[in-house]
Amino acid sequence: GENVEQHPSTLSVQEGDSAVIKCTYSDSASNYFPWYKQELGKRPQLIIDIRSNVGEKKDQRIAVTLNKTAKHFSLHITETQPEDSAVYFCAASKGAGNMLTFGGGTRLMVKP
Amino acid sequence: NAGVTQTPKFQVLKTGQSMTLQCAQDMNHNSMYWYRQDPGMGLRLIYYSASEGTTDKGEVPNGYNVSRLNKREFSLRLESAAPSQTSVYFCASSVFRSGNTIYFGEGSWLTVV
C-alpha cells in the first residue's frame, strides 16, 4: 500500500520567514495530494490540494509543489504569521474511490 | 449546512464500559470514516464505509465496531473500553468518486479510566 513520510516533525520559524514542509510517497499511481491544517484542539481542515496533472498551485501565502518523478510534494508558507502555528498533515491517494494515506504531521511554531 | 457532526464531544468512561460515538453528515457524501488521534500523534484509520451498506477495517480496528446506519450516519462502538482507547476520535466523510477530499467532524475527546 501507499506510504507517506513527512519531514520535519517540528519546525520553528520567526514571524515573517518562510516555512517548507516536505512529503514523499511510495505509490507512483498516486495522483491526489491534499494538505490539512489542524489548530490546537480543532479538527483537521483542508487548506490546499494538488493533482498530478499540475506541478504547482498557489493560494495567497501558501503554495504546494509536486515532483512526480521524485515522488515528493511540498507545502510552502510565505510571510508566516503566528496564526499559522498548527500541525500540518500531508496525504496522498490514487484518486476517486481510493483511500487517503496521511503523513505523520509537522508541528509548525511561528515565533512573534 | 452543518457538515459533519459527532456526539458526544467529551466522555469519560470506566474500564470495561461500553459506549457509542455518533456521527452524521449532511453533504450527501457516500464515504465515511472513523479516525483516532493520540496526543501528539497523527491520524490513524479505525474503520471506514466506502458506501452505504459496506464497512471495512482500517489500520487499528481492534476493540471497535461500526455501523453504517444509512447514508448520513456512521457510528463507532467501543464494546469494552480500555485505557489504551483514550484518544480523540474524528468522524469524516468524502464524496466517493471525487478526489477523496475528506471533511472532518469536530472530534470527540474520550478518556477511559
Higher pLDDT, A45 or B2: A45
The number of helices, as runs of H, and strands, as runs of E, in chain B is 0, 11
Read off the pLDDT of each residue in A48-57 and give the average, rounded to a whole number. Answer: 89
Residue A61 CA, chain-centre distance (Å), reads 13
Query: Is the per-residue pLDDT at B97 higher than 70?
Result: no
**Residues 8 through 47 of chain A touching chain B, CB cutoff 8 Å:** 32, 34, 42-46
Instruction: Render pLDDT for B45-54 as a digit per residue (tens, 0 to 9).
Output: 999 998 888 9
CA atoms within 13 A on the CB side of B86: 10
Spell out which residues of chain A touch residue B42, defining contact as CB-CB under 8 Å. 89, 102-105
Query: Is the per-residue pLDDT at B98 higher than 60?
Result: no
- B99–A96 CB contact, under 8 Å: yes
Q: What's the pLDDT at B1? A: 66
Q: What's the pLDDT at A81? A: 97
Residue B98 is nearest to which of A42, A89, A96, comparing CB atoms?
A96
Read off the pLDDT of each residue in B59-73 and give the average, rounded to a whole number. Answer: 95
Q: Cell digits for A30? A: 498516486
Q: pLDDT band at A39, cuts 50/70/90?
A: very high
Q: What's the pLDDT at B6? A: 97
List of residues 6+ apart from B42 with CB closer than 8 A: A89, A102, A103, A104, A105
- B100–A98 CB contact, under 8 Å: yes
CB A19 within 8 A of CB A11: yes
A52 touches chain B (CB under 8 A): no
Query: Is the per-residue pLDDT at B96 higher than 80?
Result: no
Give the integer Cα–Cα distance in Å for A71 and A6.
Answer: 12
Give the integer Cα–Cα distance in Å for A92 and A16.
Answer: 29
Instruction: Render pLDDT for A65-78 as a digit per residue (tens, 0 to 9).
Output: 999 999 999 999 99
Count of other CB atoms within 10 angstroms of residue A28:
11
Lowest-confidence pick of A4-18, A57-71, B91-105: B91-105
> Could you give the 3-state DSSP secondary structure of residue B56?
strand
